[in-house]
Amino acid sequence: MNAVELTCELVRIDTINPRSPERPAAELCARLLEKAGWQVRLHEFAPGRASVVARREGPGERKPICFAGHLDTVPLGARAWSRDPFAGEIDSGKLHGRGSSDMKSGVAAMVAAALLMKRFPKAGMTLLLLAGEETGCEGAAHLARLPGALGSAGALVVGEPTGNQPVLGHKGALWLRARTRGVTAHGSMPERGVNAVVKAARAVLQLAEVRFAIAPDPLLGAPTLNIGTIAGGLNVNSVPDEAAIGIDIRTIPAQRHAQVRKELQAALGPEVELSALVDLEGVRTPEDDPFVQTVLGIVEAPPGVATYFTDASVLTPAFGGVATVVLGPGEMALCHQTDEYCRVDRIEESVEVYGRIARAWCGS
């Protein structure tokens, strides 16, 4: 099966997160790799939520290269599709369906490139096909917690959609809930209560003034903070005893999330309790890194950055801050969209590119 056929097959398997577990897609890839002599293990973080770890050993002088992708997709959305999102049809050079760009094409290209690798004279190779990325990198986080599951890596390629342009970093996501508490009382006697909504309103104004004291990243720009939600009070004639604010912070890799939280807590004071909903740090590999230089030489495209976060937020630190490139055949602009598709020529191109990167690392 070539990469284009495998992409079609994977699109035909519904892996909408969380309603449709990844196991059937994981098993399809695992069977192909096993038949070609790869050591394959499936790990589930919940029933049916299977990730694949496939390895080929090298001589051990150099750490393996790791290729990673995710098997899950986002839901279809409210708008009707003009084609069946699970048919895996090709028309006029485009492969249509949910997950075609994000990122079953990338997974298929990685598997196809892996199947073509026969020799590993300098270093081994690892493939991670992960579950649960779209809801906060759950599959990757599970593997990172499981002793020995990930192994080591000397370089990481994440196959998220970049139109085959190498991406050297992305921002982190720190989503926080800020909660305020009060004391309820009858709305006609507010002096007997403590108003949690008023405390939340003060917190919102403080948040709006927050400036991160850090130089912008030359590629990623400055960190941002958005107040996305506010909720409080149950009925108009009571003093509310609880309110909550949802905060979406996009950090740059030079920031540590623990420090960001500490600074926010200091700014908001003790009447606001912060808890994390999503906590994924940013990733950035310098352009002069030798692995990046190898990739840039092979791809012959200028480096870019992505707006989304990826499994690299978990994997890059789990591998000890390894050099990381995001590179995949899907189209960035089509992620999570109605009528998602992937260009067939890009899939073929990425098999070639992944193969050249792997051979350069593994010495074959």
Q: Give the residues lining the site for Zn ion (CB under 5 A).
A: 102-103, 160
In this structure, the number of other CB atoms found within 10 A of the CB of residue 281 comes to 22
CB nearer to Zn ion: give 260 or 334: 334
- Give least dist CB 162 to Zn ion, A: 11
Residue number of the CB closest to Zn ion reads 102
- Give least dist CB 296 to Zn ion, A: 23
Which residues in 313-346 are b (16+ Cβ under 10 Å) and which e? bbbbebbeebbbbbbbbbbbebbeeebbbbbbeb
CB nearer to Zn ion: give 153 or 334: 334
What does residue 266 show for φ and ψ, rounded to 5 degrees? Answer: -65, -40
Q: What is the DSSP letter of 233?
A: -
CA distance 65 to 359: 10
- Give least dist CB 283 to Zn ion, A: 14
CB nearer to Zn ion: give 103 or 157: 103
CB nearer to Zn ion: give 106 or 303: 106
- In sequence order, the 6+-apart residues with CB closer than 8 A to the CB of 147 are none
- Give least dist CB 69 to Zn ion, A: 8
CB nearer to Zn ion: give 127 or 268: 127
CB nearer to Zn ion: give 102 or 331: 102
- Give least dist CB 318 to Zn ion, A: 18
Closest CA to 86 of 74, 94, 98: 98
- Give least dist CB 70 to Zn ion, A: 6
- Rg of the chain, C-alpha, whole Å: 23
CA distance 28 to 37: 15
